Amino acid sequence: MEEIENTYASLRAQIDATEAQLAGLKRELEIAEQAAVQARAQDHPNPTATVRNKGNETRRWPLLDEEYRRYGRQMIVPQLGLQGQLKLKSARVLIVGAGGLGCPAAQYLAGAGVGTLGLVDGDTVESSNLHRQVLHRTKNVGKFKVDSAIEYLQELNPHSTYIAHRAHLAPQDAADIFKDYDIILDCTDNPATRYLISDTAVLLRKPLVSASALRTEGQLMVLNNPPRPVGDNSGGPCYRCVFPRPPPANSILSCADGGILGPVVGTMGVLQALEAIKVITAAEDDIKPPSLHIFSAYSSPLFRTIKLRSRRSNCAVCSAEASVTLDTVRSGSTDYVFFCGTVSPEKLLSPEERISPSDYRARYPQVSSVEPIKAVEKRPTIIDVREKVQFDICNLDNSINIPISKILASSGNRKPENGDVADVLPPWVPADIVSPESTDPIYVVCRLGNDSQIAVKKMKELGLDRGGERVVADIQGGLRAWRAQVDPEWPQY
């Protein structure tokens, strides 16, 4: 039965994709017919020139009556006008990522009348997306994000054509997807994909609007604009020109780990749509020098702008010395995962220095319960190293909150030679575990089981394990594993 359902889903997806492509071709044909009529009208001016639509009816004007009503408020803006609206109608825009950035960007581009919108994303909608990914709705949880987004966009503006690419962007497919579009929006959240998108855009001479957001801050750039050939220094800089080297893999925070305010990522996505409209409708001599715009929701002013340099003379993709080509991208010779590094779970401790949540609960059955702790051989101290804002959301009973940021910022980092730890311990160490008489075990917990290992190692460096006499260990897998093994009602955030 499962195999039949999978086959059905696959066929349905292929049919949807084919229908979307057919609709796009029909739209292109209509646009081409209108362009031909307009070209003939320019060659032979006639105030009563007509436009023939696909219903074989003639019209005097290049837009439908409903389109004039729909787009009228923006067409009277001097920077856009009728010609700008016609450029939007004939434009093909690709949005890579249908999440927090891609949703508002797609929403405003569709609303503005962009003729063809393509969306690339292999993820499905989760309930944790809904506070910021505004095209998705509760009823669409579990559906492909691109399908959920297009469902909304079709209701918003039926005049546009929407094309779904239901997969994560892969190097072997990127060029084949990008070639059919005029401008690319990078709405992704990981460095490897950002470099892939930028490289492909440069090699195919496509302008790129790139943005990012985390917590309360965001960044925005228009890259490869104007999109000159590789080696032409008059072209706009690419992502590699701005960031020749990626940040260390372990320094990258995702929204799941660092958090995000919905209006922050929404602001950056709306600005991406705005920049895309400016690129589509602007004349080449109106192109502004490249800049990096930095948004900070809790700063004043909210925005800062940093001017960017032109293309780097030694850039790996857009300079005359380029080593990245379409062939190296397609073949995998340009390894983006290797270039950016991978983030793997910390493995700093031996198995003897770790305990699973289920084993911990079995060893201390009354710890972290609402009942008083019964007599056990030794009473454990639980140290929770999440930041206070997370600790306040949910925490184990009787646990102590010492944020990992405070631990890493401390100066005490050496073992005492005479066994007296009090003189070298940093102020974050609780006084009740410093006492020489105390040998009760210390267990450290965090969200996923990575920071807790770092904290355990730091505590042992400080001599809190008393040369092995005291147990200092972490709860393996953190509070996510605690939910899976001990308490299924534990809040999952």
For 56-73, how does the pLDDT look when each residue is reduced to its tens digit (9 = 90+)? 556 789 999 999 999 999
Quick one: pLDDT band at residue 50, thresholds 50, 70, 90? very low
Quick one: pLDDT band at residue 474, thresholds 50, 70, 90? very high
pLDDT reading at 208 higher than 50: yes
Helices 171-178 and 191-203, interaxial angle, to 10°? Answer: 40
- Kind of pairing, strands 183-186 and 161-165? unpaired
What pLDDT score was predicted for residue 58?
64
- CA separation for the pair 460, 468 (Å, rounded): 9
Q: What mean pLDDT do residues 107-111 have?
A: 98
What pLDDT score was predicted for residue 376?
46
Q: What mean pLDDT do residues 343-366 have?
A: 86
Q: What mean pLDDT do residues 290-299 have?
A: 97
What pLDDT score was predicted for residue 439?
82
Quick one: pLDDT band at residue 267, thresholds 50, 70, 90? very high
pLDDT reading at 148 higher than 50: yes
What pLDDT score was predicted for residue 343?
60
> Residue 162: in which H helix or E strand, if any?
strand 161-165
What is the CATH architecture of 64-340?
3-Layer(aba) Sandwich (3.40)
pLDDT reading at 358 higher than 70: yes
Annotated binding-site residue? 103:
no
Annotated binding-site residue? 129:
yes
The rounded percent of the chain whose pLDDT value lies above 70 is 82
What pLDDT score was predicted for residue 425?
85
Annotated binding-site residue? 117:
no
Q: What mean pLDDT do residues 329-351 have?
A: 85
Place of tokens 């299924």: 488
Residues with Cβ within 8 Å of 323's Cβ and at least 6 positions away in sequence, in order, are 316, 317
Annotated binding-site residue? 238:
yes
Residues with Cβ within 8 Å of 350's Cβ and at least 6 positions away in sequence, in order, are none
CB-count exposure of residue 185 (10 Å: 0-12, 13-18, 19+): buried
Looking from the CA of 321 toward its CB, the CA atoms found within 13 Å total 7
What pLDDT score was predicted for residue 341?
82
pLDDT reading at 237 higher than 50: yes
What pLDDT score was predicted for residue 21?
67
**163-204, pLDDT tens digit by residue?**
999 999 999 999 999 999 999 999 999 999 999 999 999 999
Quick one: pLDDT band at residue 54, thresholds 50, 70, 90? very low
Q: What mean pLDDT do residues 63-90 have?
A: 96
User: Which numeric CATH code is attached to 351-486?
Assistant: 3.40.250.10
Q: Is the peptide bond before 226 cis (omega within 30 degrees of 0)?
A: yes
What pLDDT score was predicted for residue 375?
46
Q: Which of 5-14, 250-259, 406-415 has the lowest mean pLDDT?
A: 5-14
The span from the first CA to the last CA of the chain, in angstroms, equals 34
Annotated binding-site residue? 190:
yes
Q: What mean pLDDT do residues 458-483 have?
A: 93
Quick one: pLDDT band at residue 133, thresholds 50, 70, 90? very high
Annotated binding-site residue? 187:
no
Told to judge if 446 belongs to the known catalytic residues of this protein, a careful annotator would answer: yes
Structure tokens at 27: 């739209």
Annotated binding-site residue? 189:
yes
Q: What mean pLDDT do residues 220-244 have?
A: 96
Which residues make beta-bridge pairs with 444?
383, 474
Angle at 124 between CA 119 and CA 130, to 5 degrees: 90
Structure tokens at 480: 């996510």
Told to judge if 255 belongs to the known catalytic residues of this protein, a careful annotator would answer: yes
Q: What mean pLDDT do residues 4-10 have?
A: 64
pLDDT reading at 325 higher than 80: yes
Question: Among 54, 100, 22, which residue's Cα sits nearest to residue 266?
Answer: 100
pLDDT reading at 51 higher than 60: no
Residue 184, helix vs strand vs coil: strand
Q: Which of 103-117, 202-216, 330-344 has the lowest mean pLDDT?
A: 330-344
State the average pLDDT for the chain.
Answer: 87
Annotated binding-site residue? 131:
yes
Structure tokens at 53: 């639509």
Other CB atoms within a 10 A radius of the CB of residue 277 amount to: 25
pLDDT reading at 123 higher than 50: yes
What pLDDT score was predicted for residue 249?
76
**398-423, pLDDT tens digit by residue?**
999 999 999 998 765 455 455 555 55
Question: Among 450, 454, 446, 453, which residue's Cα sits nearest to residue 383?
Answer: 446
What pLDDT score was predicted for residue 7?
66
Sign of CA dihedral 84, 90, 93, 99: positive
Quick one: pLDDT band at residue 8, thresholds 50, 70, 90? low
What pLDDT score was predicted for residue 27?
60
Structure tokens at 252: 């990258």
pLDDT reading at 235 higher than 70: yes
- CA separation for the pair 185, 99 (Å, rounded): 12
Written as one letter, the residue type at 131 is: H
Alpha helices in 364-469 (DSSP H): 388-391, 404-408, 451-461
- Catalytic one among 103, 187, 340, 446? 446
Other CB atoms within a 10 A radius of the CB of residue 375 amount to: 6
Written as one letter, the residue type at 481 is: A
Q: Could you tell me the residue ranges of all domains in the chain?
A: 64-340, 351-486
DSSP 328-348: HHHHT-S-HHHHH--------
- CA separation for the pair 264, 260 (Å, rounded): 7
Burial 7-31 (b: 16+ CB within 10 A, else e): eeeeeeeeeeeeebeeebeebeebb
Annotated binding-site residue? 153:
no
